Amino acid sequence: MDTNKKLGQHWLHDEASLQAMCDAAEVSAGDTVLEIGPGLGTLTAALLDRGARVVCVEFDMQLVPGLKKKFGKNPLFSIVHQDILRFDFSVLPSGYKVVANIPYYLTSNLLRRMHEAAHAYSQAALLMQKEVAQRVCATPGDMSILSVSTQLFSTPHLGLEVPAHLFTPPPKVDSQILSLRYKTTPQFEGLNTVAYLRIVKAGFSEKRKMLRSSLSSGLGLPKTEVEALCQKAGINPQLRAQTLSLEDWYRLYKARRLSSQRK
């Protein structure tokens, strides 16, 4: 079947890569797995072979009949024709896992949806553009909004690299498996994640500039007030956002909240 370029479809048939994805999410019999964009069903088959209950969410209606024909008689298989960004994660049982080969354009929004869902996953294995997977796993010095927002909720690890030639049609870049384990204990107790991420986004709003300027612009505060916040947080206002750790952002978050409470 022809692929839909607008949906970034690239079929993966390599058995070793498919098994590596199952391994990365530690899929075993009795698990409920959410598979996003099952395509032709190669990964679906690998998941079902492990005895997992597989809930597929497929946006491309043209693919749904083929998947139903292929797996419809298996009681462990079910499929929903829907945009994953509109999917209700609460229909899944506690401890569900996520396994998917996802197109580049969907990565950031999907990770956000997965972590904003009130009903969180336990483990995930996402096959994505290699560069993006590595960006998620970045350390202070190379951080981004994507790495901070993902690491706030989960612990990421890089898995198997999957070269472009293993896909049909081959994408322009190599891919890599990103495994995620959701943090059952929050990174910071009592955190208002919306307020925390608002500060992070402000810091990265002009990432080439120093925090003094980017936070001033992003939060709409005078630079003198930003400098005072940084001083309270023990952070040099001349640093750039990519150098800060999750703990650094938390100190800025606390300083900002204390400052707001005093006004």
Distance CA 44, CA 2 (A): 19
φ/ψ bin of 239: left (φ > 0), alpha (ψ from -120 to 50), beta (otherwise): beta
pLDDT of residue 189: 93
> pLDDT tens, position by position, for the chain (263 residues)?
444 444 446 789 999 999 999 999 999 999 999 999 999 999 999 999 999 999 999 999 999 999 999 999 999 999 999 999 999 999 999 999 999 998 888 899 999 999 988 889 999 999 999 999 999 999 999 999 999 999 999 999 999 999 999 998 888 899 999 999 999 999 999 999 999 999 999 999 987 899 999 999 999 999 999 999 999 999 999 999 999 999 999 999 999 998 776 65
193-262 CATH choice from 1.10.1740.10, 1.10.8.100, 3.40.50.300, 2.40.110.10: 1.10.8.100
5-182: CATH topology: Rossmann fold (3.40.50)
pLDDT of residue 7: 43
Dihedral over Cα of 76, 82, 84, 85: its sign? negative
Amino acid at 66: G
Where would I find the beta strands (DSSP E) of the chain? Answer: 11-12, 32-36, 53-58, 77-81, 97-101, 123-129, 154-162, 167-168, 175-182
From residue 19, give the alpha-carbon distance in Å to each of 27, 40, 251: 10, 16, 41
**Spatial CA neighbour of 146 closest among 218, 85, 207:** 207
Q: Are 171 and 13 in contact (CB under 8 A)?
A: no
User: What is the reported pTM?
Assistant: 0.91
pLDDT of residue 261: 66
Domain ranges of the chain: 5-182, 193-262
Residues 6+ apart with CB under 8 A from 34: 55, 57, 89, 92, 96, 97, 98, 99, 100, 121
